[in-house]
Amino acid sequence: MQTRLSHFIAGESGIWRIRDMKVVSGDGLPTAAYLDIRPTPADTEATWTLRGVKSNDRYTTRTEKSMLQATQEGLGRPEATLAALIPIKKNDAWWLLTQDERREIFEERSNHTTIGLRYLPAIARSLFHCRDLGLPEAFDFLTWFEFAPQHEADFNHLLSELRASPEWEFVEREVDIRLER
Amino acid sequence: MQTRLSHFIAGESGIWRIRDMKVVSGDGLPTAAYLDIRPTPADTEATWTLRGVKSNDRYTTRTEKSMLQATQEGLGRPEATLAALIPIKKNDAWWLLTQDERREIFEERSNHTTIGLRYLPAIARSLFHCRDLGLPEAFDFLTWFEFAPQHEADFNHLLSELRASPEWEFVEREVDIRLER
């Protein structure tokens, strides 16, 4: 059985150079120079490690998924030399909502998938879940994005749209980490 | 931060005596005499340990949750001396479905919550998630039920109804463990 777990390891070496780290809300993370992504934990001491699992869709409908699959591109494109790691923690009020209430805020009121679709295929994205790893984790999700330098302004605009949405009223911790390969 | 993780530890001692263990589908589990439920792993070697986290609702709507909350009772009632631990693994086909497709099978076609509601408050229930613990686990969920001896036949009927539903076509491993306090 293959693990769906990834470790985002910040420290003195790694494939990705950390260009910038900005606290959007809540506590930040210690400064580090490089980041590696691996299925296993760091061999040596890391500045910090964030863990997350790829999992099943939580809100996406089949119609939305078909639209995403028709236009999205995968990670690792040679031209996508920039990346962003954005760990997010939502508050207790969010997690106490029922599924229909969370879906309504996520899509019907915040257009999360609809907004994301407009930036495809330029922005490639992958989502990792931390909330149910068993031990208390600092974040609920890790979002990872890859794009070419000419799409960085588009990516910033995508984030502005999402951060202005009703869904983001439930975000209590968010760090915006920018990287370059 | 309090852990939402529970360990179901089977071995030579424990609060719950294992009366019976039946394989419903897939592989079984080694025979054991007792079971304990603890936030931390076993101090000594266990026959087997299953782990799971309490998490947010996955399919329940606010209307359904209000009905559940109006009638359900909690675990640990003195008269509820019988229990069942039913670990379940669903197949890849289930996990590749989108949220709307899983919800439709779970409730609109299988009446999972509607069936459960009919057995309240006699049967108390708690759900633990294993699928996103990070490492490959043997099951996706652990369901735990408590009831008084006079409701055991009702509980068996509840299980028959659920196992005959379209949702159960996606269950690839299920073990039915009966216990007594």
**Average confidence (pLDDT) over B156-173:** 98
Tokens for A3, please give them: 């693990």
Reported as a single tens digit per residue, the pLDDT across B86-114 is: 999 999 999 999 999 999 999 999 999 99
Element (H, E) at A87: strand A82-90
> Does residue B88 contact residue B173 with C-beta atoms inside 8 Å?
yes
**H-helix segments, B60-111:** 62-71, 92-96, 99-103
Task: Determine, for residues A98 and B129 on separate chains, whether the beta-carbon distance falls below 8 Å.
Answer: no
When pLDDT is averaged across residues A30-53 and rounded to a whole number, the result is: 96
Q: Is A98 at the interface with chain B, CB within 8 A? A: yes
Q: Is A170 helix (H, G, I), strand (E, B) or coil?
A: helix
Average pLDDT over residues B146-166: 98
Contact call for A59 and B129, based on CB within 8 A: no
* Contact at CB, A129 and B132, closer than 8 angstroms: yes
What pLDDT shows up at residue A43?
87
Only one residue has tokens 């580090």, namely: A32
SS3 of chain A: helix, strand, coil, percent, to 5: 30, 35, 40
Does B96 contact A at CB distance below 8 Å? yes
Q: Enumerate the H helices of chain A as residue ranges.
A: 62-71, 92-95, 99-103, 112-117, 152-163
Structure tokens belonging to residue B160? 């028959």
| pLDDT of residue B14 exceeding 70 | yes
Q: Say if the Cβ atoms of B131 and A55 lie within 8 Å.
A: yes
Q: Report whether pLDDT(B63) > 80.
A: yes
pLDDT tens profile A107-126: 999 999 999 999 999 999 99
**Cβ of residue A100 closer than 8 Å to a chain B Cβ:** yes
Residues B98, A64: C-beta atoms closer than 8 Å: yes
What digits encode the pLDDT tens for the residues A132-178? 999 889 999 999 999 999 999 999 999 999 999 999 999 999 999 99
B116: closest CA among B126, B105, B130? B126
SS3 at position A150:
helix
Q: What is the pLDDT of residue B69?
A: 97
- C-alpha–C-alpha distance, residues B37 and B52, integer Å: 11
- The predicted model gives A67-86 an average pLDDT of 97
pTM for the full model? 0.95
Report the C-alpha gap between B176 and A14 in whole angstroms.
Answer: 47
Q: Distance between CA atoms of A24 and B59, rounded to whole angstroms?
A: 31
Residue B17: per-residue pLDDT: 98
User: What tokens appear for A48 in the block?
Assistant: 């910090």
For B122-147, write each residue's pLDDT tens digit: 999 999 999 999 988 999 999 999 99
Average pLDDT over chain A, rounded to whole? 97
B1 reaches A (C-beta below 8 A): yes
CB contact under 8 A, A99 and B96: no
| Matching residue, tokens 């078909």 | A66
A67 near A36, Cβ under 8 Å?
no
Give the DSSP H or E segment for A171.
strand A171-180
When pLDDT is averaged across residues B67-81 and rounded to a whole number, the result is 97
B56's tokens? 């947010």
CA distance A112 to chain B (A): 15
Q: Residue B175: is its pLDDT beyond 70?
A: yes
Percentage of chain B beyond pLDDT 90 is: 96
Please say if the pLDDT value at position A2 is more than 80. Answer: no
Task: Give the C-alpha separation, B64 to B126, whole Å.
Answer: 16
Task: Tell me how far apart the alpha carbons of residues B39 and B41 are, in angstroms, rounded to a whole number.
Answer: 7
Is residue B1 scored above 60 in pLDDT? no
Q: What is the CA radius of gyration of chain A?
A: 16
Residue with tokens 């590696």: A36
Helix (H) / strand (E) element for A37: namely: strand A34-38
Beta bridge partners of A9: A36, A49
Cβ contact B136–A60 (<8 Å):
no
CA–CA dist A81, A93 (Å, integer): 37
For testing contact with chain A, the best of B98, B101, B105, B107 (most A CBs within 10 A): B98
For residue B65, the chain A residues in CB contact (below 8 A) are 98
pLDDT bracket for residue A3 (50, 70, 90)? confident
